[in-house]
Structure 1
Amino acid sequence: MLGYLLRRVLYMIPVLFGISVVSFWIIQLPPGDYLTTYVQGLTQSGQAVSQAQVDALSERYGLGDPFFVQYGKWMRNILLHGDFGTSFEWNQPVSQLLAERLPATVILAVATLLFTWIVALPIGVYSAVRQYSIGDYLVTFIGFLGLAIPSFMLALILIWLGATFFDQPVGGLYSAEFADAGWNLGKLLDLLQHLWVPVVVLGAAGTAGLIRIMRANLLDELHRPYVVAARARGVPERKLLLKYPLRVALNPFFSTIGWVLPGLVSGEVIVAQVLALPTTGPLLVRALTSQDMFLAGSIILIVSTLTVVGTLISDIALAWLDPRVRLGLA
């Protein structure tokens, strides 16, 4: 098991290096840079900008340096000092902006992941065990709705339902009186009161997809010869279900961590706009629009790193759950 973990960790190093290069390269693909956007904005507002001012700003941020020089400075500051650079538009350290937005994003992602698992696991098992029952058809119908309805539309529907029938606060993760307060029981309860709407919206499609995956995998296992033989020997149905078929069918739950975590972080962009959530999604959109390369590159790098870390977590969980994985048999 230790050798398996070491190999997986070593694989991460070149992958993360490649991700960092591609992240920095992608944000420089559009023509121009932040200064171009900045000067155009000043010109459109009627303000004159001299070439000396442009050259001074370019030298200050190193925008005139070759690509790999800019990349080398950026990565050196990240690795040695934890400095992601300065946001051109906000004129603040990127690490400060991330510190303000990233905790809410992580809370939302983890809560959505837990919600997805808690809901999808029992429903998927029930749908497989009660195949072609009324409950199975109902779950299938609701699952297709979850996959088909756009997240922003579901967000608008839940906002209307919550505000109309449940006196639910609309928008944000905290009420005004708790936004800048320290953590206490009141702030935690207020967070939970606001959190359920974005969690349901972000988790709807993922939950529906995992229910279908769980149902299909468990149905496949329930018809295997070892299950038929165990049932013929008189093994109780509940014990038979929990001991082997369910354990094998759980593999997709753990294998999806690698794409669920970054998908939640990046997929909440539109939902965050609709629900006015203080997360990294709207910040990334604004940074890309203004070509704020250090801010945009840092967010892209973090989201991409989450993919690698999530994949490592899923590999470890799968190796613990299924010995065939760590032995290279599956």
Structure 2
Amino acid sequence: MLFIYAVKRILWGIPFLLAVSLIAFALIQAPPGDFLTTVEMRLAYQGITLDAATIADMRAQYGLDQSFLIQYWKWISGVLQGDFGYSFFWREPVWSLIAERMALSVTLALATLLVTWAVALPIGIFSAVRKYSLGDYLVTFVGFVGLSVPNFLLALGLMYIAVVYLGSDVSGLFSAAYQNAPWSWGKFVDLLAHLWIPVLILGTSSTASLIRIMRANLLDELYRPYVTTARAKGLSEFRLLMKYPVRLALNPFVSTIGWAFPQLISGSIITSVVLSLPTSGPLLLDALLAQDMYLAGAFILLLCALSVIGMIVSDILLAIIDPRIRYLK
């Protein structure tokens, strides 16, 4: 049954997450030094020097004098209990720092993914059915432009147009009145009003890529013998197209969910910085630069969790749309 298959996929994801958490924690500590090394360097630029005893006391206070495995075990055992640790740099619990930012990042990624699918699917079908037509060439040209223009450059261009020609500020996800206000219906509407710019920017390259994927997949299916047989039996073109070739061409299209969702979150750091978005990207960058291992580790672990969720959703959807997949094995 599909339920049993989904449960198996979820159970397989648990050891994968544990292994990835260990690798992520090791990568964060791989660069020379640690958080206190970064602090020493920043203080040195200001002409302040810490003596060895003070550094040793701080290292013991932060637990940096312990071995790698002990530090990892303290962190991951806390994570399993819902405690992501304490941020060295911001001096706050990690969860209080990342909760709202991750929620906004997931909201932005979901909105971008839905818009991307809604645009790429029909355009990809049109481009395949009308191949080598004027519309196909136009879609191909726009797709190549979307793939080649960097997101941050597109963000700067849209910001310039909005400020100079529309007289509005499109940076951030909230207006000044709602920036620090508690959540309400007004703040939600304000979020939707600001969400379209980052969705447009982040979804441009993804949409262009998925259009090419859908076009190539559908072209592979349109000239198969089963399509010729169905057409000879008198099936209408629209019904024939949607019942067989499109359904099978969706397989690689659906499989992109596994990497597209976390990629939208982790790959939007530069765009988030340019647009001043209060998402997880800029904070993750700051945590890595400061070698704040608990904060950076929490972000990376959550991104890995999103990857696992994306793969599980992708596998379940593939099992639903394609009866050839034997998900009971």
TM interval, short-chain normalised: over 0.9
Q: How far apart, in 2, do the equivalents of 1:32 and 1:173 lie?
A: 36
Question: Helix, strand or coil for the counterpart of 1:87?
Answer: coil
Deviation at 1:53, TM superposition (A): 2.0
Deviation at 1:46, TM superposition (A): 2.1
- Write out per-residue CA displacement over residues 204-240 of structure 1, whole angstroms, 9 at most, x where no aligned residue: 1110010001111111111111111111121111111
Correspondence for 2:166: 166
Matches within 5 A, 1:78-117: 78-80=79-81, 82-117=82-117
Q: Distance in 1 between matches of 2:105 and 2:214?
A: 27
Q: TM (normalized to structure 2)?
A: 0.96
**Deviation, structure 1 residue 160:** 1.5
Q: Compute the RMSD of aligned alpha carbons.
A: 1.5
C-alpha separation in 2, matches of 1:67 and 1:27: 11
Residues 27 and 327 of structure 1, relative CA distance in 2, 3 Å threshold: closer
**Are the aligned partners of 2:5 and 2:328 in contact in 1 as well (CA < 8 Å)?**
no
Unaligned runs of at least 5 residues, structure 2: none
> Partner of 1:46 in structure 2?
47
> One-letter code of the match for 2:38?
T
Report the secondary structure of 1:239's partner residue: helix
Find the aligned partners of 1:298 and 1:273 in 2 and give their Cα distance: 20
Task: Find the aligned partners of 1:163 and 1:46 in 2 and give their Cα distance.
Answer: 41
| 2:74 alignment counterpart | 73
What residue in structure 1 maps to residue 189 of structure 2? 189
Shift of 1:260: 0.5
Letter in 1 for 2:48: Q
Quote the Cα distance in structure 2 between the aligned partners of 1:239 and 1:36.
Answer: 65
1:324 maps to 324
Instruction: List gaps (5 residues or longer) in structure 1.
Output: none
Instruction: Name the amino acid aligned to 1:259.
Output: W
1:165-212 CA distance string (max 9 Å, x none): 333322100000111233344323321221111111111111001000
Counting matched residue pairs gives: 328
Deviations 1:48-72 (A, max 9, x none): 3222321222112211111110000
> Which residue pairs with 1:27 in the alignment?
28
Question: 244-253 vs 15-24, which deviates more?
Answer: 244-253
Contact 1:23 1:300 in 2 (8 A): yes
Residue 119 (structure 1) aligns with: 119
Matches within 5 A, 1:170-319: 170-319=170-319
Sequence identity percentage:
53
Conservation of the 8 A alpha-carbon contact between 1:112 and 1:202: yes
Mapped to 2, the partners of 1:184 and 1:207 lie a distance apart of 32
Cα separation, 2, equivalents of 1:121 and 1:301:
31
Using the alignment, how far apart are the partners of 1:67 and 1:95 within structure 2? 22
CA–CA separation in structure 2 for the residues paired with 1:165 and 1:186: 26
Aligned to 2:39, what secondary structure does the other structure show? helix
Contact kept? 2:105, 2:279, Cα under 8 Å: yes
Residue pairs, 1:146-165, within 5 angstroms: 146-165=146-165
| Contact kept? 1:117, 1:253, Cα under 8 Å | no
Q: Is the 8 Å Cα contact of residues 27 and 291 (structure 1) preserved in structure 2?
A: yes
Matched, 1:134 2:106: no
CA distance 1:68–1:179, shift in 2 (3 Å): same
Give the secondary structure class of the aligned counterpart of 2:29: coil
- TM-score, normalised via structure 1 length: 0.95
TM-aligned CA distance change 1:164 to 1:150, over 3 Å? same
Counterpart CA distance in 2 for 1:183 and 1:7 is 37
Contact 1:151 1:202 in 2 (8 A): yes
Counterpart residue type for residue 57 of structure 1? M
Assess, with a 3 A threshold, how the Cα gap between structure 1 residues 165 and 328 changes in structure 2: closer, same or farther: farther
